[in-house]
């Protein structure tokens, strides 16, 4: 631990020199020992491996086996095998395409590293590539520099470093070479350390490098990203379960049908063809493609709502989230320090707005005169330049109509005593009409102790503002006849207290409503931040995150809890302050162990391991680092917490639509399986020998064309407005919960029996007419059935016409079906016969009856519910 060792001890231990640094031989030895100052890369899969990984789905394996065996047994039946091959390759290519939007977290971390570093070697200042910086190097730091590696500060002249990307701390940290004696200190409080990939915002300093590459704090984050395996999303798990169940059922039923066909006297080749037909019927070939396209359409809709989804299944996952762990700075707040209260002896404490009394206006002028920060207007846009605290004070004066440049014209700057962390104040001197004006700004307790009259009211005002988690600064003045010597002991005493300003990084205006809406939807928001616990608690209470009976906890307290203790008490904590990256991962994983689906938002490097560990990571698009964006599943382009809640609604709607698709496709496939299975069963009795009602090519056509069009249309069904009043699904909830499995079963039986009836009627005339009628009934029944599944409500509900894509799919499906049945050449390939008007009417009438049957069942269910 370098922070609790003296700088002399660290320099000696690393065999360096405070003035001359390392020589070239020492630097070469250190590089051999510690390696280059760069991040390691994880192993990447080749395109070929990614392609074949897509073939691991049980359904795909069964399809491949069926295609290979079919063409091996009877090469003349190559059309079926070709269609199956095209389906398999299409799904695999689609999967590889999605996977190639791969995470580039480590590449982004590399980009963040400074390209060059200023070091002292052999007693000379030189500039070297940051990857060549090594342990023991003396690094010079100035405002604007990236810190190239982790190191112990050995000199600091008002050095301030912005560590928000690493620690979440919203304000730059003032660095010091002083020893820290505590054993356990969070990163954000290690004031004598500088960390790789942070940036110097003010002053200058010198540090000795204590670690490089993967041993840096940012390297530890990279290691966490490399070692953490991304779990499958709930939707992927459920679709995999469906695949395994269907695959097992498919093989079992195929075996049974093969035996039944053999017993009935069919030859091995014909029995096998029937079994292949059944395999094709049982497997919903289009399911993976339909789900992928439904998710992709959902993604395109979400882009319009300022949410870019990098991984398709993440859309659905967000819809099932029950916990949202959110970073504070820049996510829940505006990431812009703002003056919100003022105090002067004559006005007392006032909320700050544009209508302020003259005393407050004069107070803000004094603060502005004592600030290096600036506010500039560029192309009708106000830009802040400098330290966030100082720019907040200058902007407050700007809002009241006072420009800094105008104040400088009225008051000529003479000299100043710079801020330092020991005095905790700074002073500036101006030539004015009344004499030489000294303005001193700093910590309220220090300023008040140096004033002529330090009132109890001012002390109480400071305490009250501080209790509200405001960052409070005081300002005081003194008049001189002549310019005094620039010595603190002489000048910064006997001053006249002018007032106080209270600042905070304010919450985003829309966030409170979003959190309230999330609560109604059963979603709990947890704040995780690098800020101090007092600040975090105040913000959390104002947003409605921290409620009665809930607690805030610091990172140090969290470190003292075992995983078991954290798991036991996790429900109590709504705010985590002063946390490190590994703390965020622990919090996410604890909620996951409780059975919750966790969304994590963030924008900094420090958030990236938790973004990856969460079920869904949401990075901020404007303030977010590349590392955070590439570790996340979703990027919010407007950095708006409220966008997450809109995305939750969209995700819930997409999951609902996918359930409709699964219900539609599986009930249709059960109908196909039942048609062939019952025909095979009846073939055991010679008087009922029906033959095969449908060929593999018929089933492939229905599954890939007739089924797919309505499935795509159901996938874009508008989201039900009441969906956000429902509680999130439980992680372990079955995909077929709430009676979905029973619906799929009876609706599949309905379609199967209607198809078989149509076949039996036609089979009395000829086997070809029977097959053609069965083919027509099956296709049209599924097209009609899509309207049944559109809504739990009656088909005559007002929502019947709100999905033009479903009507388009129905029209296209009917047209394509007629083309296949009546186009010369095509119907020969499909082995169909032209139907008479009466046979066509019977087949179509049986198909339409699915609507009548389902309407009767829906009416009965409504009656039972009432």
Enumerate the active-site residues.
Answer: 327
Residue 835 burial by Cβ neighbours in a 10 Å radius (0-12, 13-18, 19+): buried
Where is 193: in which H helix or E strand?
Answer: strand 193-194
Distance, in Å, from the CA atom of 331 to the CA atom of 689, rounded to the nearest integer, reads 69
Nearest-angstrom CA–CA distance, 273 and 71: 11
* CA–CA distance, 157 with 152 (Å, rounded to integer): 15
Q: What angle do CA 497, 498, 503 make, to 5 degrees?
A: 115
CA atoms within 13 A on the CB side of 181: 0
CB-CB neighbours of 526 under 10 Å = 22
CA 569 – CA 459 distance, rounded (Å): 38
| CB neighbour list of residue 276: distance below 8 Å, 6 or more residues apart | 66, 69, 70, 80, 254, 696
Of 629, 635, 628, 632, nearest in space to 614 by CA: 632
Positive or negative torsion for Cα 773, 779, 784, 785: positive
Q: How far is CA 480 from CA 230, 429, 436, 453, in A?
A: 67, 9, 5, 18
* CB 110 within 8 Å of CB 323: no
Beta-bridge partners for 710 = none
Q: Taking a C-beta distance cutoff of 8 angstroms, is the pair 26, 123 a contact?
A: no
Angle between helix axes 641-682 and 268-282 (nearest 10 degrees) is: 160
Element of type H or E holding 4:
none
**Looking up tokens 């079926």, which residue turns up?**
80
Three-state DSSP state, 439: strand
Burial status of residue 654 (CB atoms within 10 A of its CB: 0-12, 13-18, 19 or more): buried
Question: Where does residue 162 rank: exposed (0-12), middle (13-18), buried (19+ CB within 10 A)?
Answer: buried
Provide the Cα torsion 435, 441, 444, 446; round to 10°.
-80
Structure tokens at 103: 């995470």
Torsion angles phi and psi, residue 5, rounded to 5: -115, 150
Check if the beta carbon of residue 667 is closer than 8 Å to that of residue 785.
yes
Tokens 């508008």, located at residue:
718
Cα 795 to chain centroid, rounded: 37
Comparing CA positions, the residue from 526, 532, 581 lying closest to residue 550 is 526
The answer to whether 697 and 829 are in contact (CB under 8 A) is yes
> 158 in helix, strand or coil?
strand
CA distance 326 to 332: 7
Q: Are 642 and 513 in contact (CB under 8 A)?
A: yes
From the CB of residue 194, how many other CB atoms can be counted at a distance below 10 Å?
Answer: 29
Whole-Å CA distances, 735 to 316, 750, 791: 13, 22, 18
Check: CB of residue 385 under 8 Å from CB of residue 376: yes
């Amino acid at each position: 631990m370098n922070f609790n060792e003296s700088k002399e001890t660290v320099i000696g231990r690393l065999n360096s020199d405070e003035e001359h640094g390392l020589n070239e031989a020492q630097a070469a030895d250190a590089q051999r020992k510690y390696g280059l100052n760069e991040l390691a890369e994880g192993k990447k899969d080749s395109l070929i491996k990614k392609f074949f990984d897509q073939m691991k789905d049980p359904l795909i394996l069964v399809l491949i086996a069926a295609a290979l065996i079919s063409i091996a047994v009877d090469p003349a039946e190559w059309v079926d095998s070709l269609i199956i091959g095209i389906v398999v390759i299409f799904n695999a290519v689609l999967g590889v395409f999605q996977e190639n939007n791969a995470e580039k977290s480590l590449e982004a971390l590399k980009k963040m590293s400074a390209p060059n570093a200023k070091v002292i070697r052999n007693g000379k200042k030189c500039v070297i590539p940051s990857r060549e910086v090594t342990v023991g190097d003396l690094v010079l730091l100035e405002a604007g520099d990236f810190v190239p590696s982790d190191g112990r500060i050995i000199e600091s002249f008002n050095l301030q470093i912005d560590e928000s990307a690493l620690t979440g701390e919203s304000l730059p940290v003032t660095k010091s070479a002083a020893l820290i004696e505590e054993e356990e200190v969070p990163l954000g409080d290690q004031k004598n350390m500088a960390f790789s990939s942070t940036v110097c915002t003010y002053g200058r300093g010198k540090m000795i490098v204590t670690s490089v590459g993967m041993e840096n704090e940012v390297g530890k984050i990279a290691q966490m990203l490399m070692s953490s395996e991304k779990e499958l999303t709930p939707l992927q798990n459920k679709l995999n379960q469906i695949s395994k169940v269907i695959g097992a059922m498919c093989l079992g039923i195929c075996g049974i049908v093969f035996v039944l066909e053999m017993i009935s006297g069919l030859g091995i080749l014909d029995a096998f063809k029937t079994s292949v037909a059944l395999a094709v019927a049982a497997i919903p070939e289009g399911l993976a493609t339909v789900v992928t396209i439904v998710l992709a359409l959902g993604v395109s809709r979400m882009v319009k709502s300022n949410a870019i989804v990098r991984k398709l299944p993440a859309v659905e996952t967000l819809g099932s989230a029950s916990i949202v762990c959110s970073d504070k700075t820049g996510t829940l707040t505006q990431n812009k320090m703002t003056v919100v209260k003022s105090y002067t002896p004559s006005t007392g404490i006032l909320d700050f707005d544009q209508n302020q009394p003259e005393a407050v206006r004069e107070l803000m002028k004094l603060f502005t005169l004592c600030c290096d920060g600036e506010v500039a207007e560029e192309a009708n846009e106000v830009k802040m330049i400098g330290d966030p605290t100082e720019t907040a004070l200058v902007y407050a004066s700007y809002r009241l109509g006072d420009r800094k440049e105008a104040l400088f014209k009225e008051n000529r700057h003479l000299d100043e005593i710079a801020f330092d962390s020991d005095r905790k104040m700074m002073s500036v001197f101006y030539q004015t009409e009344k004499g030489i004006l000294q303005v001193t700004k700093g910590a309220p307790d220090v300023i008040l102790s140096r004033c002529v009259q330090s009132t109890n009211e001012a002390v109480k005002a400071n305490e009250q503002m501080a209790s509200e988690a405001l960052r409070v600064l005081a300002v005081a003045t003194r008049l001189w006849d002549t310019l005094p010597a620039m010595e603190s002991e002489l000048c910064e005493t006997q001053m006249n207290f002018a007032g106080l300003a209270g600042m905070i990084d304010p919450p985003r205006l829309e966030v409170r409503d979003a959190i309230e809406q999330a609560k109604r939807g059963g979603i709990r928001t947890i704040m995780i931040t690098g800020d101090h616990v007092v600040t975090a608690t105040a913000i959390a209470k104002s947003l409605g995150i921290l409620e009665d009976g809930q607690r805030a906890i610091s990172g140090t307290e969290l470190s003292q809890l075992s995983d078991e203790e954290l798991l036991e008490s996790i429900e109590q904590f709504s705010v985590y302050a002063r946390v490190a990256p590994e703390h965020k991962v622990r919090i996410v994983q604890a909620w996951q162990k409780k059975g919750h689906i966790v969304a994590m938002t963030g924008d900094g490097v420090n958030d990236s391991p938790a973004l990856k560990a969460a079920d869904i990571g949401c990075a901020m698009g404007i303030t977010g680092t590349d590392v955070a964006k590439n570790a996340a599943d979703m990027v919010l382009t407007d950095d708006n917490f409220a966008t997450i809640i809109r995305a939750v609604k969209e995700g819930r709607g997409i999951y609902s639509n996918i359930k409709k698709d699964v219900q539609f496709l599986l009930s249709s496939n059960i109908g196909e399986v039942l048609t062939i299975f019952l025909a095979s069963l009846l073939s055991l009795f010679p008087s009922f020998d029906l033959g095969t009602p449908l060929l593999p090519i018929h089933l492939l056509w229905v599954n890939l064309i007739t089924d797919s069009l309505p499935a795509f249309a159901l996938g874009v069904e508008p989201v039900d407005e009441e969906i956000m009043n429902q509680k999130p699904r439980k992680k372990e909830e079955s995909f077929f919960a709430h009676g979905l499995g029973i619906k799929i079963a009876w609706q599949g039986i309905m379609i199967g029996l209607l198809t078989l009836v149509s076949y039996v009627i036609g089979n009395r005339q000829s086997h070809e007419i029977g097959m053609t009628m069965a083919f027509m009934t099956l296709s049209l029944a599924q097209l009609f059935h899509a309207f049944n599944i559109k809504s739990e409500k009656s088909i005559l509900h007002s929502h019947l016409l709100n999905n033009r894509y479903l009507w388009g799919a129905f029209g296209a499906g009917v047209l394509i079906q007629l083309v296949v049945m009546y186009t010369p050449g095509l119907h020969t390939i499909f082995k169909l016969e032209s139907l008479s008007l009466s046979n066509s009417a019977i087949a179509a009438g049986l198909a339409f009856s699915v609507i009548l049957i389902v309407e009767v069942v829906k009416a009965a269910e409504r009656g039972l519910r009432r």
